[in-house]
Amino acid sequence: MSAGLLERLKDGGSVICAEGYLWELERRGYLRSGVFTPEIILDQPERVKNLHEEFVHAGSDVVEAFTYYGHRDKMKKIGREDELETLNLRALKIAREVADSTNTLMAGNLSNTTTFDPDDPTTADNSRRIFKEQVEWAVKGGADYIIGETFSEIQEAHLALEAIQKYGNGLPAVITLAPYGPKRTVDCVPFPQALRQLEEAGAAVVGINCGRGPATMIPILKEIRQVCKGPIAALPVPFRTTPGEPTFHRLTDPTTGKSAFPLELSAVQCTRSDVRQFAETAKEIGVQYIGLCCGSSSFLLREVAEVYGRTPPASKYSPNLEASFVIGKDISKHAQKVKQFMFGEDE
């Protein structure tokens, strides 16, 4: 039987969690950008199963059920609210099967509802109903723990945690906030203090996901590590954010100068080296729960896994540039000529 979340994190252990299913499936042509609803679970579930397997192949310790935005309000927008329970239970079943076959953990998933408004108490009641449903389905589907992610307000994060504690049959909770603003939540609580509150309220792991790329997430992680006592989580978007453009929403295409979000972000994608450097720094800080969020791909996740001491099946195919016929060792005289043309060394 696979070790549980808390057991894996005990004594400084680590957990690698692949996220970013929405964006990766949209990139592959199976999901619509904008509404970002996971109806692929209903229409082409095998594609989701394949992506689960691919992320595990790259080093993920967790198969996260694809129920992000799989809630009543979102499904109403596409006229498929009546299929909501089917969607959730099918997503959980697929994730459970992959986790069982790969000796990994299976996580249920809650997300920001997009309808929560801290100034409107009725929206809090709606979030509670959404979270209750999804937590109960996660328990029924055999989740090992439950993730609540991408909350821009600490108030909604607390609602998710409360639902997990009330209806989750004792399952551990991983709660992560989205660091959109200048070091504080939308409801104006500094991230370290907000996460410490969630930790004190009973979350097993707290941290940040989405919004920021590696370069602009690291400074916040250092502050969080100083305040929080238990395991902390970091799941950045793999895009080249900067102090001037700290979130991927603010990134501009370096060629056109136009906004890159959301459809032109490939122009500012992180490299493997960017991701590897992030993972190395996160490990030094003491981040125990790590992954990548929107924009993640398996070849980037492999970089994280290898830094954290894993040798996943995908490592069999890690680059070996010494074997290249033009940039490797002991290349032929003709290959040297080809190299000169390729790299402009004759110009």
Say how far residue 261 (Cα) sits from the centre of its chain: 18
Q: Are 135 and 110 in contact (CB under 8 A)?
A: yes
In one-letter notation, the amino acid at residue 225 is R
Q: In degrees rounded to 5, what are phi and psi of residue 2?
A: -65, 140
Q: How many CB atoms lie within 10 A of CB 219?
A: 13
> Which residues belong to the annotated binding site for Zn(2+)?
210, 293-294
In one-letter notation, the amino acid at residue 61 is D
Sign of CA dihedral 249, 254, 259, 261: negative
Closest by Cα among 148, 135, 142, 150 to 105? 142
Say how far residue 56 (Cα) sits from the centre of its chain: 14
DSSP notation for 255-277: TT-SB-TTTTGGGGBPPHHHHHH
Q: What is the rounded CA–CA span in Å between residue 311 and residue 295? A: 22
Specify the length of the chain in residues.
347
The HSE-up count of residue 239 (CA atoms within 13 Å, CB side) is 31
Q: What is the rounded CA–CA span in Å between residue 128 and residue 155? A: 11
Q: Are 22 and 38 in contact (CB under 8 A)?
A: yes
Q: What is the rounded CA–CA span in Å between residue 178 and residue 160? A: 14
Q: Are 96 and 106 in contact (CB under 8 A)?
A: yes
> Which residues belong to the annotated binding site?
210, 293-294
- Whose structure tokens read 């490299």? 271
Question: What residues are paired with 315 via a beta bridge?
Answer: none
